[in-house]
Amino acid sequence: MAKSLICNSAGDWQEVLELRDATLPAHPTAGHSRIRMLAAGIHPSDFGMIAGTYGKAKVFPCAMGREAVGEVMEGAHQGEIVRIPEELGVWAEQIDAPSTGLFVCPKDLKPEQLALSFINPPTSLRVLEDFLTLKADDVIVTNAGRSAVSQAFIQLAARLGVKSHAVIRNKTTEDETWLKSLGAAGVWDETEDYSKQFKAILALNQVGGESVLKLIKTLRDHGVCVTIGGGSKTPVRYPTRELIFKDVQLRGFWMDRWTRENPTKVRPMMELIWGLMREGKVTQEIAAAYPLADFKEALTKASEGSRRGKVVFVASER
């Protein structure tokens, strides 16, 4: 028996998620490997999938969770650490997955860091590299500055010699110290008129609404604002003035699409990110870790807007 978090239908997670026992065969069937989950992330996109509002729909009922790593207990790649295939749902104690195509991971990184390496750091890297050719001393800015994406964005920008600014809600001295330790040149509260303090060439939007309008106002001529999320769930007004007089671009990015369209580039990108993790140049802060049995506490914690760092599920026995 192995427990798995099952979503019965689209809706609020408090109403549609339940922890169920799943019966696995004594041994995985031919062509499959049995994987024991070691660590799994909880992301805004997970909540979107549960609600039925994310870019790719699930067929309910199904196991949930997008990003996790586990140890292969039996079958091909036995003893290796692999990424658990997202399409199977990763919030499960154990899972049998097709052996072909399993993504083998290094063993010298902590499972919690590995489990958070496939979505947020790659998203940040692609935004930094694919929309503009950034030069040393260029200025960039991100909102939702405490988010895991922003953490990676700031750290990867420092690697390029680019000056990054982070915008957060309810800024504290502790937040400012922390984000500057990651490499941020400036940390601003959403209520501040920071658009007059610097001019950016690239902006990363995860919030929408009034927040992204403020980001766009910081852009210099021919700047680009890339949207990867809409955390505020409020629409963006068309920034006519900036579009006409600054010729700014408003773009979108979805990591899932990039991965589908660039399959041969995924492994080299991950090797780069893992190398930076080994050097301590890319880290993902962990706010809290819970076993699957405590999923209600875990998802409540992950829903907190002021939270710093990711909430993860971990194996009950490590």
Domain span(s) for CATH 3.90.180.10 in the chain? 2-116+284-314
Catalytic one of 54, 194, 238, 290: 54
pLDDT at position 255 is: 95
User: How much is the pLDDT for 107?
Assistant: 96
pLDDT in tens, the chain (318 residues): 799 999 999 999 999 999 999 889 999 999 999 999 999 999 999 999 999 888 777 889 999 999 999 999 999 999 999 999 999 999 999 999 999 999 999 999 999 999 999 999 999 999 999 999 999 999 999 999 999 999 999 999 999 999 999 999 999 999 999 999 999 999 999 999 999 999 999 999 999 999 999 999 999 999 999 999 888 778 777 789 999 999 999 999 999 999 999 999 999 999 999 999 999 999 999 999 999 999 999 999 999 877 888 999 999 865
Residue 154's nearest CA partner among 133, 163, 192 is 163
pLDDT of residue 58: 84
Domain 120-256 has CATH 3.40.50.720: yes
Q: What is the mean pLDDT of the chain?
A: 94
- Identify whether the C-beta of residue 16 lies closer than 8 Å to the C-beta of residue 306: no
- Going from the C-alpha of 192 to that of each of 145, 151, 188, 207, 235, the distances in angstroms are 14, 21, 7, 16, 21
CATH number for 2-116+284-314 (one of 3.90.180.10, 3.30.300.30, 3.40.50.2300, 3.40.1410.10): it is 3.90.180.10
Which 8-state DSSP code applies to residue 124? H
CA 222 to chain centre: 28
Tell me, yes or no, if 238 is annotated catalytic: no
Specify the amino acid at residue 206: Q
Over residues 95-125, the pLDDT tens digits come to 999 999 999 999 999 999 999 999 999 999 9
**pTM to 2 decimal places:** 0.94
Evaluated on CA atoms 108, 113, 118, 122, the torsion sign reads: negative
Q: How many CB atoms lie within 10 A of CB 15?
A: 10
DSSP conformation letters of 55-102: SS---SSEE--S-EEEEEEESTTTT-EEEPPGGG-S-BSEEEEESTT-
- Cα separation, 119 vs 83, in Å, equals 12
CA dist 10 to 59, 173, 258, Å? 9, 40, 26
Residues of the chain with CATH 3.40.50.720: 120-256
- pLDDT on residue 231: 81
Q: Is 179 helix (H, G, I), strand (E, B) or coil?
A: helix
Tens-place pLDDT, residues 29-60: 999 999 999 999 999 999 999 998 887 778 89
Burial per residue of 245-270, b for 16 or more beta-carbon CB atoms within 10 angstroms, e otherwise: ebebebeebbbeebbeeeeeeeeebb
